[in-house]
Amino acid sequence: MGARAVAALAAVLVATAAALGAPGAEPGAGDPGDRYGRARRLMVDAQIRGRGVADPAVLRAMAEVPRHRFVPEPLADAAYADRPLPIGHGQTISQPYVVALMTELLDLGPGDRVLEIGTGSGYHAAVLSRVAGEVYTIEIVEPLAERARATLAELGYANVRVRAGDGYRGWPEEAPFDAVLLTAAPPEIPPPLLDQLAVGGRLVAPVGVAFQDLTVIRRTPTGFASERITPVRFVPMTGEAAGRHADDPSRK
């Protein structure tokens, strides 16, 4: 999306945010120097808690992490609106409710180790870092990975490690993980990611091509149990996942 398109979208979304209680209407709300504090509280109350997300740690993380720092500057005032936003390179930051729902579905504890595939802006990794112990996140678009690494470091999220590369094969040297999260949709879950999931852990991912389902897979002592949660729409997982799907004769 070009600069003019981003600016045009920003104008529309800022107007929407204003109608919902835009942060600029109440400078200084929330933490000292944080004019977006009120917008975050409204986001949590209306978009997240109001739709059934109840995990106190997730709600607290969503209320603390400054989402406006993870979107392009022209869209900062729209960061807490109920919709995804473009972050460049054809990628998006998911709407707040989806971030919260996926985090809750992971059922994280404070000492858990999480693998995230699809860092994007780094926002979801920041949320995970407030709920879990360690976060390992991989982004295939190198400029996004570098930007996310810089943002996370600047904001002090020291328990997040960012790697630029294809997430299909995960991060084997740091496995097993208590939870695995995919923020881009593969046609099917890459086997290496299932292999790197600890027994008792959960993997949460959008799965599908034309139609996607948010899916939870739990590893048991004897195998895997899968549950479809709700239809979703995510950007497709690229790299090896897309290549394997294209090369599969049964799908042609």
Question: pLDDT tens, 62-88?
Answer: 999 999 999 999 999 999 999 999 999
Catalytic machinery residues: 94
Per-residue model confidence (pLDDT) at position 81: 96
Pull the structure tokens for residue 27.
């400078």
Per-residue pLDDT tens over the stretch 211-225: 999 999 999 999 999
Q: Which two structure tokens, joined as six digits, stand for 232?
A: 């979703």
Which residues, other chains included, contact 152 with Cβ-Cβ below 8 Å and sequence gap of 6+? 122, 125, 126, 160, 162
| Domain limit, last residue, from 83, 98, 128 | 83
Residue matched to tokens 């109350």: 45
Residue 122 and residue 77 share a domain: no
The pTM of this model reads: 0.85
Q: Are residues 76 and 119 in the same domain?
A: no
What's the rounded Cα separation, in Å, for the pair 65 and 39? 12
Looking at the fold, whether 152 and 230 belong to one and the same domain comes out as yes
- Per the CB < 8 A criterion, the answer to whether 237 and 184 are in contact is yes
Are residue 155 and residue 241 in the same domain, yes or no?
yes
Question: Domain residues for 183?
Answer: 106-252
Residues 157 and 236 in one domain: yes
Q: State residue 243's pLDDT score.
A: 84
- CB-based burial label for 132 (10 Å; 0-12, 13-18, 19+): buried
What are 140-157's pLDDT values in tens digits?
999 999 999 999 999 999
Q: Is the pLDDT of residue 109 over 90?
A: yes
198/128 same-domain check: yes
Residues 140, 242 share a domain: yes
Does residue 14 surpass a pLDDT of 70? no
- If you average pLDDT over every residue of the chain, what do you get? 88
Number of separate domains in the chain:
2
pLDDT at 35: 84
**CATH number of the domain that residue 223 is part of:** 3.40.50.150
Tell me whether strands 85-88 and 113-117 are parallel, antiparallel or unpaired.
unpaired
